[in-house]
C-alpha cells in the first residue's frame, strides 16, 4: 500500500513540476528555473528507502520526462536520474541521514544531475552555450528551488520512505 502512495506522490510531483510550476514561477525567471521535484523525491528514496527503489523510480520517471518534456534525446534524463539515485543509495546505505546531510546531498545531486545533462546535450550539440553560462543562468537558480522544496518536504518524505522500508523487509537480511 505504501508503494502505491509513493507512486501517486511521484505522479503528482511530475504534474506539479510540469503544469503548475510554470504558472507560479515569474515570467522573467521562467526560462531560467527548471523544477526537478521528481528528482528530489528519487534522492529522498535513495536516502531513506533503498537504492533499488531509487533506481526504479529514477529510470521510470526520468524516461517519462524524456518523452513528455525533453524530446531532443530519449534516455539522458532516465539514465542520469536512475544512476544518481542508485549511487546515492549505495554511498549512504548504512548511514542515517540527518536534515543537513540530506539537504547537502540533494544539493550536490541536483548540481551533478544538471551538469551531466548539460554535458550530454553539449556532446550531441543540442546546446552551444558554455558551462559557466549554464551554471549561472540555469543550474544555480534551479538549485535554490530544489533546496527550498527539499526543506519543505523533508519530514513528510522521510516518514513516507522510512515507513515503506520498514514494512517491506530486505531480502538480504533473511
Burial 17-33 (b: 16+ CB within 10 A, else e): bbeebeeebeeeeeeeb
Q: What is the mean pLDDT of residues 56-72?
A: 90
Decide: 161 and 45 in contact? Cβ < 8 Å: yes
pLDDT digits (tens, 9 = 90+) for 87-139: 999 998 878 888 999 999 999 999 999 999 999 999 998 888 999 999 999 99
Instruction: Please provide the average confidence, as pLDDT, over all residues in the chain.
Output: 90
Q: What is the mean pLDDT of residues 2-8?
A: 87
Does the 2-24+36-167 domain belong in CATH 1.10.1760?
A: yes
Q: What is the mean pLDDT of residues 49-69?
A: 93
pLDDT band at 172 (very low <50, low <70, confident <90, very high): very low
Q: What is the mean pLDDT of residues 77-83?
A: 95
pLDDT digits (tens, 9 = 90+) for 28-41: 888 899 999 999 99
* Residue 13: per-residue pLDDT: 95
121/3 Cα distance (integer angstroms): 33
* Residue 170: per-residue pLDDT: 53
Domain-by-domain residue ranges, the chain? 2-24+36-167
Which of 27, 16, 34, 21 is CA-nearest to residue 138? Answer: 34
11/46 Cα distance (integer angstroms): 18
Amino acid at each position: 500500500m505504501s508503494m502505491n502512495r509513493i507512486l501517486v506522490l511521484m505522479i503528482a510531483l511530475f504534474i506539479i513540476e510540469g503544469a503548475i510550476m510554470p504558472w507560479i514561477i515569474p515570467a522573467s525567471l521562467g526560462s531560467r528555473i527548471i523544477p526537478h521535484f521528481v528528482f528530489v523525491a528519487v534522492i529522498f528514496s535513495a536516502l531513506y528507502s533503498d537504492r533499488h527503489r531509487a533506481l526504479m523510480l529514477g529510470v521510470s520517471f526520468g524516461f517519462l520526462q524524456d518523452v513528455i518534456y525533453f524530446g531532443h534525446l530519449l534516455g539522458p534524463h532516465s539514465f542520469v536520474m536512475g544512476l544518481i539515485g542508485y549511487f546515492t543509495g549505495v554511498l549512504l546505505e548504512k548511514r542515517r541521514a540527518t536534515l543537513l546531510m540530506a539537504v547537502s546531498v540533494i544539493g550536490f545531486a541536483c548540481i551533478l544531475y544538471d551538469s551531466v545533462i548539460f554535458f550530454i546535450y553539449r556532446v550531441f550539440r543540442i546546446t552551444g552555450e558554455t558551462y559557466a553560462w549554464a551554471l549561472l543562468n540555469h543550474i544555480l537558480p534551479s538549485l535554490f528551488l530544489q533546496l527550498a522544496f527539499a526543506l519543505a518536504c523533508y519530514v513528510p518524505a522521510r516518514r513516507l520512505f522510512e515507513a515503506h522500508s520498514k514494512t517491506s523487509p530486505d531480502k538480504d537480511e533473511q
